[in-house]
Structure 1
Amino acid sequence: MANEASAPAELAAPKKNKTKVVIVASIAILLAVGLSAAGAWFFLNKESAGPQEQSAQEIPQGKQKAVYELLEPAFVVNFHSQGRQRYMQASLALMSRNENELKQLKVHMPTLRNQLVMLFSSQDFEELNTPVGIELLKQKATAAVQELAMHEVGSPVVEQVLFTNFVMQ
Protein backbone atom coordinates (compact mmCIF):
# COMPACT_ATOMS: atom_id res chain seq x y z
CA MET A 1 0.00 0.00 0.00
CA ALA A 2 2.81 2.34 0.65
CA ASN A 3 3.89 1.89 -2.92
CA GLU A 4 0.39 2.67 -4.17
CA ALA A 5 0.20 5.89 -2.18
CA SER A 6 3.56 7.13 -3.38
CA ALA A 7 2.83 6.33 -7.02
CA PRO A 8 0.31 9.15 -7.54
CA ALA A 9 2.67 11.60 -5.88
CA GLU A 10 5.48 10.60 -8.26
CA LEU A 11 3.20 10.96 -11.29
CA ALA A 12 2.11 14.42 -10.22
CA ALA A 13 5.69 15.71 -9.95
CA PRO A 14 6.65 15.02 -13.59
CA LYS A 15 3.52 16.81 -14.82
CA LYS A 16 4.56 19.98 -13.01
CA ASN A 17 8.06 19.71 -14.51
CA LYS A 18 6.59 19.16 -17.98
CA THR A 19 4.43 22.26 -17.73
CA LYS A 20 7.42 24.30 -16.58
CA VAL A 21 9.47 23.00 -19.52
CA VAL A 22 6.65 23.82 -21.95
CA ILE A 23 6.29 27.34 -20.51
CA VAL A 24 10.04 27.99 -20.62
CA ALA A 25 10.28 26.59 -24.17
CA SER A 26 7.35 28.76 -25.29
CA ILE A 27 8.94 31.86 -23.82
CA ALA A 28 12.27 31.00 -25.46
CA ILE A 29 10.59 30.50 -28.85
CA LEU A 30 8.67 33.79 -28.55
CA LEU A 31 11.85 35.56 -27.54
CA ALA A 32 13.77 34.07 -30.49
CA VAL A 33 11.02 35.04 -32.95
CA GLY A 34 10.88 38.56 -31.51
CA LEU A 35 14.64 39.01 -31.69
CA SER A 36 14.71 37.64 -35.25
CA ALA A 37 11.99 40.04 -36.35
CA ALA A 38 13.72 42.97 -34.67
CA GLY A 39 17.07 42.04 -36.23
CA ALA A 40 15.54 41.65 -39.69
CA TRP A 41 13.77 44.99 -39.37
CA PHE A 42 16.97 46.69 -38.23
CA PHE A 43 19.12 45.28 -41.04
CA LEU A 44 16.53 45.80 -43.77
CA ASN A 45 16.04 49.43 -42.78
CA LYS A 46 19.80 49.91 -42.60
CA GLU A 47 20.32 48.39 -46.09
CA SER A 48 17.50 50.37 -47.69
CA ALA A 49 18.93 53.63 -46.36
CA GLY A 50 22.50 52.66 -47.19
CA PRO A 51 22.40 52.41 -51.01
CA GLN A 52 20.74 55.82 -51.33
CA GLU A 53 23.49 57.47 -49.34
CA GLN A 54 26.14 55.29 -50.92
CA SER A 55 25.00 55.94 -54.51
CA ALA A 56 25.14 59.67 -53.89
CA GLN A 57 28.71 59.31 -52.65
CA GLU A 58 29.90 56.88 -55.35
CA ILE A 59 28.69 58.78 -58.42
CA PRO A 60 30.88 61.83 -58.97
CA GLN A 61 29.24 65.09 -60.00
CA GLY A 62 29.94 64.75 -63.75
CA LYS A 63 29.57 60.96 -63.94
CA GLN A 64 26.22 59.62 -65.12
CA LYS A 65 24.80 56.12 -64.95
CA ALA A 66 25.54 53.72 -67.78
CA VAL A 67 22.97 53.33 -70.55
CA TYR A 68 23.02 50.23 -72.77
CA GLU A 69 21.83 49.75 -76.33
CA LEU A 70 21.58 46.17 -77.60
CA LEU A 71 22.47 45.69 -81.24
CA GLU A 72 19.93 43.22 -82.56
CA PRO A 73 19.92 40.93 -84.43
CA ALA A 74 23.22 39.30 -83.53
CA PHE A 75 26.10 39.60 -85.98
CA VAL A 76 26.84 36.42 -87.96
CA VAL A 77 30.05 36.30 -89.96
CA ASN A 78 31.50 33.43 -91.96
CA PHE A 79 35.17 32.59 -92.40
CA HIS A 80 37.08 30.23 -94.65
CA SER A 81 39.75 28.65 -92.44
CA GLN A 82 41.93 25.63 -93.23
CA GLY A 83 39.68 24.53 -96.08
CA ARG A 84 36.54 24.60 -93.90
CA GLN A 85 33.67 27.00 -93.56
CA ARG A 86 33.63 28.60 -90.07
CA TYR A 87 31.13 30.92 -88.40
CA MET A 88 31.13 33.52 -85.68
CA GLN A 89 28.02 34.85 -83.97
CA ALA A 90 28.33 37.86 -81.70
CA SER A 91 25.66 39.72 -79.76
CA LEU A 92 26.74 43.22 -78.83
CA ALA A 93 25.69 46.00 -76.50
CA LEU A 94 26.89 49.59 -76.59
CA MET A 95 27.59 51.22 -73.23
CA SER A 96 27.21 54.97 -73.03
CA ARG A 97 26.86 57.61 -70.32
CA ASN A 98 24.74 60.03 -72.36
CA GLU A 99 21.32 58.82 -73.45
CA ASN A 100 20.67 61.76 -75.79
CA GLU A 101 23.88 61.22 -77.74
CA LEU A 102 23.13 57.50 -77.92
CA LYS A 103 19.75 58.32 -79.46
CA GLN A 104 21.54 60.48 -82.05
CA LEU A 105 23.85 57.58 -82.85
CA LYS A 106 20.89 55.22 -83.34
CA VAL A 107 20.00 57.16 -86.47
CA HIS A 108 23.27 55.91 -87.97
CA MET A 109 22.73 52.27 -86.97
CA PRO A 110 22.88 50.87 -90.54
CA THR A 111 26.32 52.44 -91.05
CA LEU A 112 27.47 51.28 -87.64
CA ARG A 113 26.32 47.68 -88.29
CA ASN A 114 28.03 47.74 -91.69
CA GLN A 115 31.33 48.85 -90.16
CA LEU A 116 31.12 46.15 -87.51
CA VAL A 117 30.33 43.41 -90.05
CA MET A 118 33.29 44.50 -92.17
CA LEU A 119 35.53 44.55 -89.10
CA PHE A 120 34.40 41.11 -87.94
CA SER A 121 34.75 39.50 -91.36
CA SER A 122 38.28 40.87 -91.80
CA GLN A 123 39.52 39.02 -88.69
CA ASP A 124 41.58 35.84 -88.68
CA PHE A 125 39.56 32.91 -87.34
CA GLU A 126 42.57 31.36 -85.58
CA GLU A 127 43.32 34.58 -83.69
CA LEU A 128 39.72 34.84 -82.51
CA ASN A 129 40.00 31.43 -80.84
CA THR A 130 42.05 32.96 -78.02
CA PRO A 131 40.86 35.19 -75.16
CA VAL A 132 43.42 37.80 -76.21
CA GLY A 133 42.02 37.76 -79.75
CA ILE A 134 38.49 38.32 -78.48
CA GLU A 135 39.62 41.19 -76.25
CA LEU A 136 41.47 42.76 -79.18
CA LEU A 137 38.34 42.45 -81.32
CA LYS A 138 36.33 44.14 -78.57
CA GLN A 139 38.80 47.03 -78.51
CA LYS A 140 38.77 47.32 -82.31
CA ALA A 141 34.96 47.34 -82.30
CA THR A 142 34.91 50.05 -79.63
CA ALA A 143 37.36 52.16 -81.65
CA ALA A 144 35.31 51.69 -84.85
CA VAL A 145 32.07 52.72 -83.15
CA GLN A 146 33.71 55.72 -81.46
CA GLU A 147 35.21 56.83 -84.78
CA LEU A 148 31.81 56.70 -86.47
CA ALA A 149 30.22 58.54 -83.53
CA MET A 150 32.86 61.28 -83.68
CA HIS A 151 32.21 61.72 -87.39
CA GLU A 152 28.39 61.68 -87.19
CA VAL A 153 27.53 62.98 -83.70
CA GLY A 154 30.64 64.97 -82.76
CA SER A 155 31.58 63.01 -79.64
CA PRO A 156 32.69 59.42 -78.95
CA VAL A 157 29.26 58.62 -77.36
CA VAL A 158 30.09 54.95 -76.68
CA GLU A 159 32.36 54.16 -73.77
CA GLN A 160 32.59 50.44 -74.54
CA VAL A 161 31.32 47.79 -76.91
CA LEU A 162 30.41 44.70 -74.89
CA PHE A 163 30.02 41.15 -76.15
CA THR A 164 26.89 39.74 -74.56
CA ASN A 165 27.23 36.47 -76.48
CA PHE A 166 30.12 35.18 -78.58
CA VAL A 167 30.04 31.82 -80.40
CA MET A 168 32.48 30.42 -82.91
CA GLN A 169 32.35 27.11 -84.75
Structure 2
Amino acid sequence: MAEESLQVEVNEKTRPKWMLPAIIAAALVLIAVLAAGVVMVLSDDDEASVEQDQVDLTTQVTIGDALYVSLPRPFLFNLPSDKRSYLVQINVQIQVRGIEAQDLVKKHIPLVEDSLLSTFSSADAAKLQSREGKNELRSLALTNVQSILSGVTGKPLVEKILFTGFVMQ
Protein backbone atom coordinates (compact mmCIF):
# COMPACT_ATOMS: atom_id res chain seq x y z
CA MET A 1 0.00 0.00 0.00
CA ALA A 2 2.78 2.33 0.75
CA GLU A 3 4.09 1.80 -2.76
CA GLU A 4 0.72 2.56 -4.30
CA SER A 5 0.37 5.83 -2.43
CA LEU A 6 3.87 6.75 -3.46
CA GLN A 7 3.04 6.01 -7.02
CA VAL A 8 -0.08 8.16 -6.84
CA GLU A 9 2.01 11.00 -5.51
CA VAL A 10 4.51 10.48 -8.27
CA ASN A 11 1.72 10.61 -10.87
CA GLU A 12 0.53 13.92 -9.43
CA LYS A 13 4.01 15.33 -9.65
CA THR A 14 4.37 14.24 -13.24
CA ARG A 15 1.78 16.77 -14.47
CA PRO A 16 3.21 19.15 -16.98
CA LYS A 17 4.71 22.19 -15.29
CA TRP A 18 3.40 24.54 -17.97
CA MET A 19 -0.28 23.75 -17.12
CA LEU A 20 -0.58 26.13 -14.13
CA PRO A 21 0.97 29.16 -15.89
CA ALA A 22 -1.20 28.42 -18.95
CA ILE A 23 -4.37 28.47 -16.83
CA ILE A 24 -3.30 31.72 -15.15
CA ALA A 25 -2.49 33.29 -18.52
CA ALA A 26 -5.86 32.20 -19.95
CA ALA A 27 -7.65 33.71 -16.94
CA LEU A 28 -5.75 36.99 -17.36
CA VAL A 29 -6.61 37.11 -21.07
CA LEU A 30 -10.27 36.46 -20.24
CA ILE A 31 -10.27 39.26 -17.64
CA ALA A 32 -8.61 41.63 -20.13
CA VAL A 33 -11.22 40.83 -22.80
CA LEU A 34 -14.06 41.37 -20.33
CA ALA A 35 -12.55 44.66 -19.16
CA ALA A 36 -12.19 45.84 -22.76
CA GLY A 37 -15.81 44.92 -23.44
CA VAL A 38 -17.01 46.83 -20.40
CA VAL A 39 -14.98 49.89 -21.41
CA MET A 40 -16.42 49.76 -24.93
CA VAL A 41 -19.97 49.44 -23.69
CA LEU A 42 -19.55 52.27 -21.21
CA SER A 43 -17.88 54.52 -23.77
CA ASP A 44 -20.78 53.91 -26.19
CA ASP A 45 -23.21 54.89 -23.42
CA ASP A 46 -21.18 58.03 -22.72
CA GLU A 47 -21.33 59.01 -26.39
CA ALA A 48 -25.05 58.29 -26.45
CA SER A 49 -25.59 60.30 -23.28
CA VAL A 50 -23.55 63.19 -24.71
CA GLU A 51 -25.73 63.09 -27.82
CA GLN A 52 -28.84 62.92 -25.61
CA ASP A 53 -27.58 65.89 -23.57
CA GLN A 54 -27.08 67.85 -26.79
CA VAL A 55 -30.63 67.02 -27.85
CA ASP A 56 -31.91 68.02 -24.41
CA LEU A 57 -30.10 71.35 -24.65
CA THR A 58 -31.71 72.12 -27.98
CA THR A 59 -35.18 71.19 -26.72
CA GLN A 60 -34.95 73.23 -23.54
CA VAL A 61 -37.34 76.05 -22.91
CA THR A 62 -37.22 78.84 -25.44
CA ILE A 63 -38.34 82.36 -24.69
CA GLY A 64 -41.87 81.97 -26.04
CA ASP A 65 -42.76 78.61 -24.48
CA ALA A 66 -45.78 78.38 -22.20
CA LEU A 67 -44.76 77.81 -18.60
CA TYR A 68 -46.90 77.35 -15.52
CA VAL A 69 -46.59 78.80 -12.06
CA SER A 70 -48.34 76.76 -9.42
CA LEU A 71 -49.58 78.76 -6.47
CA PRO A 72 -48.42 77.15 -3.24
CA ARG A 73 -51.77 77.00 -1.44
CA PRO A 74 -55.35 76.52 -2.58
CA PHE A 75 -57.74 79.40 -2.03
CA LEU A 76 -60.26 78.57 0.69
CA PHE A 77 -63.05 81.05 1.39
CA ASN A 78 -66.73 81.39 2.33
CA LEU A 79 -69.33 82.71 -0.09
CA PRO A 80 -72.64 83.84 1.38
CA SER A 81 -75.84 83.39 -0.62
CA ASP A 82 -79.56 83.91 0.03
CA LYS A 83 -80.22 80.44 1.43
CA ARG A 84 -76.88 79.45 2.94
CA SER A 85 -73.13 79.99 2.99
CA TYR A 86 -70.83 77.98 0.71
CA LEU A 87 -67.27 76.91 1.39
CA VAL A 88 -65.20 77.15 -1.80
CA GLN A 89 -61.72 75.79 -2.50
CA ILE A 90 -59.91 76.67 -5.73
CA ASN A 91 -56.47 75.44 -6.81
CA VAL A 92 -54.86 77.81 -9.31
CA GLN A 93 -52.03 77.65 -11.81
CA ILE A 94 -50.90 80.61 -13.88
CA GLN A 95 -49.78 80.33 -17.51
CA VAL A 96 -46.99 82.68 -18.61
CA ARG A 97 -44.70 82.94 -21.64
CA GLY A 98 -40.98 82.62 -21.05
CA ILE A 99 -38.66 82.09 -18.15
CA GLU A 100 -38.39 85.78 -17.31
CA ALA A 101 -42.16 86.08 -16.91
CA GLN A 102 -42.22 82.92 -14.81
CA ASP A 103 -39.53 84.28 -12.49
CA LEU A 104 -41.31 87.63 -12.13
CA VAL A 105 -44.64 85.98 -11.31
CA LYS A 106 -42.95 83.73 -8.73
CA LYS A 107 -41.34 86.80 -7.21
CA HIS A 108 -44.72 88.54 -6.87
CA ILE A 109 -46.83 85.58 -5.71
CA PRO A 110 -48.09 87.41 -2.58
CA LEU A 111 -49.53 90.19 -4.78
CA VAL A 112 -51.09 87.63 -7.12
CA GLU A 113 -52.61 85.68 -4.22
CA ASP A 114 -54.06 88.84 -2.71
CA SER A 115 -55.61 89.86 -6.02
CA LEU A 116 -57.07 86.40 -6.60
CA LEU A 117 -58.45 86.12 -3.07
CA SER A 118 -60.17 89.51 -3.40
CA THR A 119 -61.62 88.49 -6.76
CA PHE A 120 -62.77 85.06 -5.58
CA SER A 121 -64.33 86.22 -2.32
CA SER A 122 -66.41 88.86 -4.11
CA ALA A 123 -67.94 86.27 -6.47
CA ASP A 124 -71.62 85.38 -6.53
CA ALA A 125 -72.31 81.87 -5.19
CA ALA A 126 -75.24 81.33 -7.56
CA LYS A 127 -73.10 82.14 -10.61
CA LEU A 128 -70.29 79.81 -9.53
CA GLN A 129 -72.62 76.83 -9.77
CA SER A 130 -72.57 77.07 -13.58
CA ARG A 131 -69.73 76.67 -16.06
CA GLU A 132 -70.33 80.17 -17.43
CA GLY A 133 -70.02 81.61 -13.93
CA LYS A 134 -66.69 79.86 -13.39
CA ASN A 135 -65.42 81.11 -16.77
CA GLU A 136 -66.52 84.63 -15.87
CA LEU A 137 -64.67 84.39 -12.54
CA ARG A 138 -61.57 83.08 -14.33
CA SER A 139 -61.55 85.97 -16.83
CA LEU A 140 -62.16 88.54 -14.07
CA ALA A 141 -59.28 87.03 -12.08
CA LEU A 142 -57.04 87.22 -15.17
CA THR A 143 -57.88 90.88 -15.71
CA ASN A 144 -57.20 91.75 -12.07
CA VAL A 145 -53.90 89.84 -11.90
CA GLN A 146 -52.70 91.37 -15.17
CA SER A 147 -53.47 94.89 -13.94
CA ILE A 148 -51.68 94.28 -10.60
CA LEU A 149 -48.59 92.85 -12.32
CA SER A 150 -48.60 95.61 -14.96
CA GLY A 151 -48.44 98.17 -12.18
CA VAL A 152 -45.45 96.45 -10.58
CA THR A 153 -43.47 95.10 -13.55
CA GLY A 154 -44.74 97.19 -16.46
CA LYS A 155 -46.00 94.07 -18.27
CA PRO A 156 -49.14 91.96 -17.75
CA LEU A 157 -47.02 88.71 -17.80
CA VAL A 158 -49.99 86.34 -17.26
CA GLU A 159 -51.76 84.70 -20.20
CA LYS A 160 -54.25 82.47 -18.41
CA ILE A 161 -55.57 81.65 -14.98
CA LEU A 162 -56.25 77.92 -14.74
CA PHE A 163 -58.47 76.32 -12.12
CA THR A 164 -56.84 72.94 -11.46
CA GLY A 165 -59.23 72.19 -8.63
CA PHE A 166 -62.64 73.63 -7.79
CA VAL A 167 -64.79 72.48 -4.87
CA MET A 168 -67.93 74.23 -3.68
CA GLN A 169 -69.85 72.84 -0.70
Q: Scaled by the length of structure 2, what TM-score is found?
A: 0.60
Question: Quick check: 2:69–2:95 contact (8 Å CA) kept in 1?
Answer: yes
Work out the CA distance in 2 between the residues paired with 1:115 and 1:103: 18
Structure 1 CA distance, aligned partners of 2:105 and 2:131? Answer: 29
Asked if 1:94 corresponds to 2:94, the answer is: yes
**CA positional deviation for 1:85:** 2.3
The superposition leaves residues 27-82 of structure 1 with CA deviations (integer Å, 9 ceiling, x where unpaired) of xxxxxxxxxxxxxxxxxxxxxxxxx9xxx9xxxxx972210001121001101223
**Do the aligned partners of 1:105 and 1:153 also contact (CA within 8 Å) in 2?**
no
Q: Which runs of 5+ in 2 are unaligned?
A: 1-54
Structure 2 contact 79–85 (Cα < 8 Å) conserved:
yes
Tell me, in whole angstroms, the C-alpha distance in 2 between the residues paired with 1:115 and 1:95: 16
Match of 2:40 in 1: none
Provide the residue aligned with 1:18 in structure 2: none
**Who is 2:74 aligned against?**
74
Q: Answer whether contact 2:63 2:98 (CA < 8 A) is retained.
A: no
Instruction: Please report the TM-score for the alignment, with normalisation by the length of structure 1.
Output: 0.60
C-alpha deviations, 1:80-129, integer Å up to 9, x for none?
Answer: 22342211110000001121122122222112111111111111100111
Which secondary structure state, in structure 2, belongs to the residue aligned with residue 133 of structure 1?
A: helix
Which structure would you say has the larger Rg?
Answer: 2
CA RMSD of aligned residues (A): 1.9
Which amino acid counterpart does residue 89 of structure 1 have in structure 2?
Q
Equivalences for residues 55-74 of structure 1 within 5 A: 64-74=64-74
% identical equivalent positions:
31
Instruction: Tell me the equivalent position of 2:156.
Output: 156
CA separation in 2, counterparts of 1:99 and 1:148?
19
Instruction: Give the aligned length.
Output: 110
- Aligned residues of 2:116 and 2:141 also touching (Cα < 8 A): yes
